Structure 1
């Protein structure tokens, strides 16, 4: 059985090899990833609650979908693939920025990712994979920020970092101090 591999990268996102996904997370090696943010016509952001069986951050709220590019796969192709696999829909996507973060989890795994962030707009049916997603909902940016202020531990580490950057990109008057 072939285990999924991630693309190891330098701090400037230059590929330097591949490694089995769990080994990269055990060793905390920097690898390429992506996060997809979806908005509807009302300006609400689609959140997903990660399935309880996920290997890290189970049950936490985050952006619509996130994952890793496969060796030889473009970021855009990977984002479309995982959006369909996780949430059961696809839509046009645009990469808006990238950032690097590192999080150590209670289970000893380390997320050290060069995260490409994409945005899309969608108003149709959502059919999530229950192996990936426990729940989902659209919320306004202000509702999300209020919930994050009240319950910060119910959101993924990367969502805390990416959301303020997405809101800034959208020219919404929200600062990281609000998060």
Structure 2
């Protein structure tokens, strides 16, 4: 099934739909969401993207990042992708939204109006291996060290969103 993203202007007014990969080639602004999950120790969940992903394969990123479908709210899309990628349900709270543009290599761009959600989770995962290779929790202090020492191991958008998150909280 062809996956479409919702193209928008900076005020989140819908401009149309476009096939996901084409939107990333053209670098067009589209709707997205990112989820940061934390365990009871305050550690952040990271997922390692599956090696078969068409961009940023094998890199570490936040718990979930994806796109709401046409007619779906940001929150509905976030819950759908939690189920599809990690096999879980948990309460989410929207923290902020912002626009960013990141070169993800291979002539592809993430240019997104990104709504960032947070939640807590302390149970088992049922990973979709087509999407997620593995997950792990890490303290924000250790995460900062890892990114500083090996930035290439992390997705470009995650580094941007993490900085925005730290400036807001």
| 2:105 alignment partner, SS class | coil
By how many angstroms is 1:41 displaced?
1.1
| 1:160 alignment partner, SS class | helix
1:55-134 correspondence to structure 2 within 5 Å:
55-134=54-133
Whether the 8 Å contact between 2:45 and 2:137 is mirrored in structure 1 is: yes
| 1:105 alignment partner, SS class | strand
Q: Which runs of 5+ in 2 are unaligned?
A: none
Q: Distance in 1 between matches of 2:19 and 2:11?
A: 21
CA RMSD of aligned residues (A): 1.2
1:146 maps to what in 2? 145
2:2 maps to what in 1? 3
| 1:167 alignment partner, SS class | helix
TM-score by length of 2: 0.95
Q: Distance in 2 between matches of 1:133 and 1:166?
A: 23
Q: Distance in 1 between matches of 2:58 and 2:46?
A: 12
Q: Which runs of 5+ in 1 are unaligned?
A: 171-179
By how many angstroms is 1:22 displaced?
1.5
By how many angstroms is 1:18 displaced?
1.0
Whether the 8 Å contact between 2:110 and 2:157 is mirrored in structure 1 is: no
Count residues with an aligned counterpart. 169
1:105-132 CA distance string (max 9 Å, x none): 3311221111111000111111111110
1:177 maps to what in 2? none
1:140-159 CA distance string (max 9 Å, x none): 11010010111011111111
By how many angstroms is 1:168 displaced?
3.9
| 1:142 alignment partner, SS class | helix
Q: Distance in 1 between matches of 2:15 and 2:85?
A: 28
1:48-69 CA distance string (max 9 Å, x none): 0101111111111110001001
